[in-house]
Structure 1
C-alpha cells in the first residue's frame, strides 16, 4: 500500500501540520491502494511562504537557465514513465496501455513542447519607442483534477517553470499518487527549493486556502464549473488572476456528406477514451435526420465492441475513478431511459462477467432531443448521445445552445463547408475531420468552460505580467 502522508515544501518532504488522513481507493478492485495526509490552511501558509522566498531568485533566472532545467525535467520524467503509469492505474484505474502510452507520457510531451516554445519566446518586444517586457506573475496556486492527473499537472507546472514563476500544487485527493512522483521528478531534476511545493487536501480546505491566500498572485484551476466558481469567489477579495479550464458538453457535427463508416467509430472511440472522463470529449453527436438510423447502428456496434475490464483480462476501457462518480454516471443513464431516449447499447448495469470495480458499459443513446438531461449536462462517463438535425443552421444552433464551450468537432468531405461550420461554433477548440491532437494548439474554453489557454507557447501568457518601459526601446 502506498504511503504518501508527507508534503513537499521548500525542497524537502515534511510532516503535515494537519492531522487528517484519507484512503485512496483503487477503482478496479475497490480496495485501499494507499493513504495521503489532508492538509490545512497552515500547511498552505508554509508552502506559499517557501514559494514567495524562492521567487526572489527564481523570478530572475535567464531563459537559458530555465531551458536547462526543463531539459533535465524531461529526461527524468521520461525515465519515470513506468512508475507514473503504475500509480495512475492504482489511483484511477486506467488500463496499463492508456496509463503508459498516454496518461504518463503526456508529462514529457508538455515539457518538450514548452522547451521548444521557450527557446524563442518574445519576453521583450519593441513597439515604437516602448519596450514591452513580459515578466513572471509570481507565486502561482495550481489546483488539478483526477481524470488526466499528470497531463493537467504538467500543463500548469511546466509553463510556470518556463516563465520563472514559483508554485504550490494541490492535486486531487482522488488521484494523488502520480503527483507525488512528479514532485520526486522535479526534485531529482534540480528544481530549486521552494520553486515547487505540494500540499494534498480537499478543495474546501486546501483549495480555498490557496485561492484566497494574499501572497498567491494567480490561481490556475482545472475541474468542474461549480468548483471553478468557488475558486473565483475565494480569489476575488485579493484581486488575483484566475484562469480556469472547466466543464464541457461538446458537440460533434456530422455533415451529410461525411463518411459515416469512418467518422462515427472514430467519434465513439474518442468519446469513450479514459472511460469518458475527459472534459473535452465530443459527447453529443449531431447527425442529419435522414442518416440517424445508420449513424446509431454504426455507433452502437462500435461501442459494443469495446472490451471493458482489467488490462490483464483483455480490457481496453477501465472503470470510473470513484464509487461516487460511478453512481452519478449510472444515474444519468437511467435518467436518459426515463426521459425517452432510445438506448442503442450499454446501460446502467456493470458489464457482463464483472462483479467488482466501478465499471460502466459503453453506452449509446439515439433519438435524443436537446432538452433532455443527457443532452445538456456533463455526464463525464462513457455515454454518447446522438441528436438528429434537419439543417446545418439547426445543427450549429444545437451545438452552441450550451453554457459550455470547450471543444467541438465537424466532419465532412467538403473541407470549405466544414471550415465554415467550425467558424460558427462558440468553442475554444474544434477538431476538423477527426484530426489528431496538436499539443502546440491553445487549449481552453468559451463561456462556462473557463478562461485562459494552456499548451505550448499559448500556455505561457497566463503566467506573465506585461510591463511597458516607455522610452525603453530608445535606450
Structure 2
C-alpha cells in the first residue's frame, strides 16, 4: 500500500525528501506501507499551488463548486469498500463501524456540503448595505488519526464549498485513506491547485503550515496541546484559526431516566472506536437512586465488547492506534484510584489492544475524571441532585459534548446549563448538518452544515 508521491497543483509529484513514514497495522503490528515524509519545502510548493488556484476557484459560482463536490461524492462513494478496508487496516476500526461511521459519515457530510453549495443562501441587506460572504483564502487543514476521512472531509468539503483552496496534512499514523479522497478529486478533474496533499509529521509539515505567511486560515483537529501551539504560530501573523480539540464529556443520568437504556447507550458511546473519540461520554454521572444498578449494568455491557481482529464481523473493539497510545491508556488505568468493575479481559497478544475498562466511585477531581484518556475507559460518578450533576459535568477544562437522560423538560433544563458545545437528550442522534465544536479548551469554531461553511468565509459590507 505504498503511496510514494505528494499531490501538488493537480499532479502527483515527488517530495523534496527521500525520507518516508511507515504506516503500521495496529492489530498486527505489521507495516502496511510507506508515505513520503513531507518537508517545509513541500509545504511551500503546495501553498504556492493553492495560492495560484485561489482566484479562479473563488470566482467559480458557488453552485458550480457544489457540482464538483457532488461529483467528488460519487467518485468517493464508488470507493466505499476500499475506504472501510483501509481504515480497518491503518486504524484498526472493526469493519462494521468502519463501514457505517468511518465511511458512511464522511460521505453524508460531503453530500451535505454539495447540496448546500448547490443552493447558495440569498444575499443579505441591512438598510443601504449589501452583506456578502467571500472565501477566506488558502486553508491549511491538519487532521487527526481517529476519524481519518471524516475529519478530512469536514474541513476540505466546507473549505471548497466556500471557495477556498486547501493544503491538507493528514495524520502520519493514518494517511492512506486521505489518498483515496485525493484520487477521487483527481479523477473528477477538480481544478489544479484547489486541493493539495502533503503527508508528514506534525513538527515538520504541520508546523510549516501553521506558520506559513501565505496560509490565510488553519483548521486543526487534535490535542489541546498541539492546538495551543498552532494558535501561537498563527497569531504571529494574525491568521484565522479553527480548533476542534479534546473532550471529557459527561453523560448525565437523572433520577427519572430510563436507566437501562441510558447505561447501554452510554457505554457504547464511550467505547466507540475503542474510546478514541474526542466527543466520547467518558464520564457517566448517575443519580444515587440508580447508582448501584447502573454500575452493574455498565459492567455487564462492557463484557460484550470483545477485542479482536477488526475484519471479524463479530469484533466490537479494535486496537488502539499505536503502541504509544496503548501504553498511555494503560498508564491511566494503572494509576487509577477508584473501584475497578470491568477490565482485564483477555485481549490478543499481538496488536495494541486494551480491554474495555470501567471504574466506579470515581473522584470528580481525580486524573481519571479530568484527563482525556482516549481509550476504552469509562468513569462512573454519583450525584444527589440536578445542581450537583451540573457542577460535576462542568468541572472540566473541556466542553465538547455530553448527554442527559430523563424527563424531556427536566433534561433540557440540565442540558442548557452544561458548558459544552453539543448535548444529546435521551439518545438524540448525531446530526451531521448541525454545528459541532467546543467550549473552553475544547477549541473554537464550528464544523458541519452552514455553520461549518461560514468558518471558511469572510463577511463584507458594501454600501450603496
Instruction: Say whether the fold is shared (TM-score over 0.5).
Output: yes
Alignment of 1:76-115 (within 5 A): 76-115=75-114
Structure 2 equivalent of residue 51 of structure 1: 50
Alignment of 1:70-149 (within 5 A): 70-122=69-121, 124-149=123-148
Structure 2 equivalent of residue 462 of structure 1: 455
Structure 2 equivalent of residue 406 of structure 1: 400
Structure 1 equivalent of residue 36 of structure 2: 37
Contact 2:302 2:356 in 1 (8 A): yes
Structure 2 equivalent of residue 373 of structure 1: 367
Contact 1:123 1:134 in 2 (8 A): no
Q: Is 1:345 matched up with 2:379?
A: no
Structure 2 equivalent of residue 420 of structure 1: 413
Contact 1:110 1:455 in 2 (8 A): yes
Q: Over residues 71-115 of structure 1, what are the superposed CA-to-partner deviations in whole Å (9 max), with x where a residue is unaligned? A: 101111110111111111111111111112220222211111112
Is there any run of 5+ residues in structure 1 with no aligned partner, and where? none
> How high is the TM-score relative to the length of structure 1?
0.96
Q: Over residues 42-83 of structure 1, what are the superposed CA-to-partner deviations in whole Å (9 max), with x where a residue is unaligned? A: 000000000000001001000221121111011111101111
The Cα shift of 1:313 comes to: 7.0
- Paired residue secondary structure (1:59): helix
> How high is the TM-score relative to the length of structure 2?
0.98
Contact 2:67 2:118 in 1 (8 A): no
Contact 1:131 1:469 in 2 (8 A): yes
Contact 1:106 1:150 in 2 (8 A): no
Contact 1:149 1:178 in 2 (8 A): yes
Contact 2:7 2:197 in 1 (8 A): yes
The alignment covers a number of residue pairs equal to: 463
Select 1:397's aligned residue among 391, 411, 416. Answer: 391
Q: Distance in 2 between matches of 1:224 and 1:116?
A: 31
Is there any run of 5+ residues in structure 2 with no aligned partner, and where? none
Q: Distance in 2 between matches of 1:372 and 1:388?
A: 14
Further displaced range: 398-407 or 109-118: 109-118
The Cα shift of 1:116 comes to: 2.8
Q: Distance in 2 between matches of 1:422 and 1:106?
A: 25
Q: Is 1:284 matched up with 2:277?
A: no
The Cα shift of 1:353 comes to: 5.7
Contact 1:121 1:457 in 2 (8 A): no
Q: Distance in 2 between matches of 1:123 and 1:66?
A: 17
- Paired residue secondary structure (1:8): strand
Further displaced range: 100-109 or 116-125: 116-125
The Cα shift of 1:289 comes to: 1.9
Structure 1 equivalent of residue 380 of structure 2: 386
Q: Is 1:440 matched up with 2:437?
A: no
Q: Is 1:359 matched up with 2:391?
A: no
Q: Is 1:263 matched up with 2:241?
A: no
- Paired residue secondary structure (2:251): strand
Q: Distance in 2 between matches of 1:107 and 1:447?
A: 26
Contact 2:130 2:462 in 1 (8 A): yes
Q: Is 1:453 matched up with 2:450?
A: no
- Paired residue secondary structure (1:312): coil
The Cα shift of 1:212 comes to: 0.6
The Cα shift of 1:290 comes to: 2.9
Contact 1:309 1:317 in 2 (8 A): yes
- Paired residue secondary structure (1:34): strand
Q: Distance in 1 between matches of 2:11 and 2:439?
A: 39
Q: Distance in 1 between matches of 2:136 and 2:165?
A: 9
Contact 2:32 2:90 in 1 (8 A): yes
